[in-house]
Amino acid sequence: MALFTFPAAFFVSAALGYLIGILAMLVGVYMIAKHERKTLPLVLGVIVILVSIPALLMTMAVHVGVYAAKEAVEAATEEKTVEGKGGEPLKLGDWEVTVTTLREEVYVKKRDTYYRAQEGYKVVLIGLIIRNTGKEAKSLSDIWRFTLITDASKSYERGYIFSLQWLPHRNVTESIQKRAMEYKELSMASSVAPSTYVEGDLLFQIPVNETPVRLYFEVGIIGGYKVIINIAPS
């Protein structure tokens, strides 16, 4: 019976394993108490107790070890939710992220080329400064899943310049040139050296009748951060 303590605890249930171990010890004690000067029950009782005690202790030790390992893994993989607001640096492990600007317009200029948002939409440019405060170079791909949340409680994924309508030079009026926002794309494929930073814009397209209020993104894959930055215009 004592030999089934460990297998029962891990393949059936912990309670059953401990119950078997305790019952085996009680049987051993009973055999010793009732041996009536007979050698065999006395010897068997001692053997049962000597087997039961290590089996119980080993089961307890393994359970404690498994529980401690489980807690350590959960602590290491738990994602932390961090909230901040535009204009304030947000410390996220070895990264420091700051939302510097929030701009909205229908027209965008990248170098000498002009674009406009899709019909019924506008372009939102969110300027970021991302600083590596660690001691080793880090890839910006560690920061991902940028999502813009509007006052209509809708979410919009990050967009790119090719999602806009290209404007031929002959269609670019002086009014469009004045209105167009300069767009400096923030590439998340680059690497940032220690104690340096990069800056650029995230591009989103949202309906003209909605207002951006929060920027959501994640840092890291396992045990990282879920970040919410309030960017609502004041």
- The pLDDT score that the predictor gives to residue 5 is 44
- The pLDDT score that the predictor gives to residue 42 is 52
Secondary structure of residue 186 in the 3-state scheme = coil
Give me the amino acid identity at 3: L
Strand 107-110, strand 113-116: pairing: antiparallel
Per-block mean pLDDT, blocks of 10 residues, the chain (234 long): 42 48 57 59 56 61 56 55 95 96 97 96 98 96 96 97 96 96 94 96 98 96 90 79
Rounded to two decimals, the pTM is 0.68
CATH architecture of 80-230: Sandwich (2.60)
The token pair at 126 is: 């969110």
Residues in the chain: 234
Residue spans of the domains in the chain: they are 2-77, 80-230
Other CB atoms within a 10 A radius of the CB of residue 225 amount to 19
Query: What single DSSP character describes residue 51?
Result: H
